[in-house]
Structure 1
Amino acid sequence: MKFDHLPLWGWILVGLTLLIQATWIFLDARSRGKKPWLAWLWGFWGLTSFPLPSIVYLIAVIGLDRRRRKTGRSIRTKK
């Protein structure tokens, strides 16, 4: 199958996938973050490709947040 002859339903599916991913990342980043511009940055990156932004977001934001909650301190502080 050639990608330049993708049917209309394929383009709609690609668009919906990117829109859903970007919306989820934006809403989750906005609810977690203190910097509103960072949530917009994550959301815009979610519109560009699939699934790399979701994977990086899950590892970088959610994974580190869970680790911080488990240890009870910030990841960046060293004792």
Structure 2
Amino acid sequence: MNNMHYSLNEISPIWMILIAILLFVQGTWIFQDARKRGRFPWLWGLWGITGFPTPLIVYWFVVIRSGRRRS
């Protein structure tokens, strides 16, 4: 049996709270930045709360980096 899988009962509630806060902060920051840039804020914000750090990295390449090239 693979020992790399954990059930929710084995994960400390503190870690669950920290992960939830991290995802909420990331999604909020991406949403606010996308709204400032006018680049589909709801799409980016919702995707930002689904995982870490993939949405942030993709957002950086697609929105922030492409915006710098135009300037």
TM over 0.5: yes
TM range (shorter): 0.7 to 0.9
Are residues 1:24 and 2:17 paired? no
Match of 2:62 in 1: 60
Are residues 1:14 and 2:19 paired? yes
Question: Any unmatched runs of 5+ in structure 1?
Answer: 70-79
Match of 2:32, as an amino acid? L
TM-score for both structures, normalised by structure 1: 0.78
Larger helix fraction of residues: 1
Deviation at 1:3, TM superposition (A): 3.1
SS of residue in 2 equivalent to 1:3:
coil
Mapping 1:34-73, distance limit 5 Å = 38-69=40-71
Runs of 4+ in structure 1 off by over 4 angstroms are none
TM-score for both structures, normalised by structure 2: 0.86
RMSD of aligned alpha carbons: 1.4
Number of residue equivalences: 66
Question: Any unmatched runs of 5+ in structure 2?
Answer: none
Fraction of identical pairs, as percent:
48
The CA deviation string for residues 32-63 of structure 1, in whole angstroms up to 9 with x for no partner, is 01x6xx10010000011110000000010000
Structure 1 or 2, whichever has the larger Rg, is: 1
CA distance in 2, matches of 1:2, 1:40: 32
